[in-house]
């Protein structure tokens, strides 16, 4: 029975996929290198230490996690605002309440904006 890891490792990469992986690794390396040097600069160190690299790595990873959390929150709030718009606008329309229609429309556009932010 073949080893599962060997089967995974032996997968052939499409040339464009290999190129894209190399680009992502280079971009991450550049960001990590700059952030590590920035950490060393902030503490007035002459050389970049392992501690600076670890701190830089943690900052980069936490920023990515925070962006994901913020995007999820934007999607939830945006969906709630869009739902409120639909309900409020229908009620305001049938009651002939133009100021409430305006408020609900603003909430609807804000909801759509937050949903787009969460998607991008």
78-117 pLDDT, tens digit per residue, is: 999 988 888 888 888 899 889 999 999 999 999 999 999 8
**Residues with Cβ < 8 Å from 57, sequence gap 6 or more?**
32, 35
Segments forming the whole domain that contains residue 48: 4-119
Count of domains observed in the chain: 1
pLDDT at 61 over 90: no
CA dihedral 74, 79, 80, 83 (to 10 degrees): 160
Contact 116, 82 (CB under 8 A): no
Q: Which pLDDT band holds residue 11 (cuts at 50, 70, 90)?
A: confident
pLDDT at 1 over 60: no
- Over the chain, what is the mean pLDDT? 88
pLDDT at position 9, please? 82
**Quick one: average pLDDT of 58-85?**
84
pTM of the full predicted structure?
Answer: 0.51
What is the SS3 assignment for 120? coil
CA–CA distance, 25 with 9 (Å, rounded to integer): 18
pLDDT at position 5, please? 81
């Amino acid at each position: 029975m073949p080893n599962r890891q060997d089967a995974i490792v032996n997968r052939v990469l499409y040339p464009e996929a290999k190129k894209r992986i190399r680009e992502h690794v280079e971009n991450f390396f550049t960001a990590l290198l700059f952030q590590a040097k920035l950490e060393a600069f902030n503490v007035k160190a002459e050389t970049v230490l392992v501690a600076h690299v670890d701190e830089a790595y943690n900052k980069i990873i936490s920023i990515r996690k925070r962006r994901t959390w913020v995007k999820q929150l934007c999607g939830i709030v945006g969906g709630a605002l869009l739902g409120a718009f639909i309900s409020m606008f229908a009620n305001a329309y049938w009651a002939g309440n133009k100021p409430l229609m305006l408020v609900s429309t603003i909430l609807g556009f804000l909801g759509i904006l937050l949903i787009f932010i969460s998607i991008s």
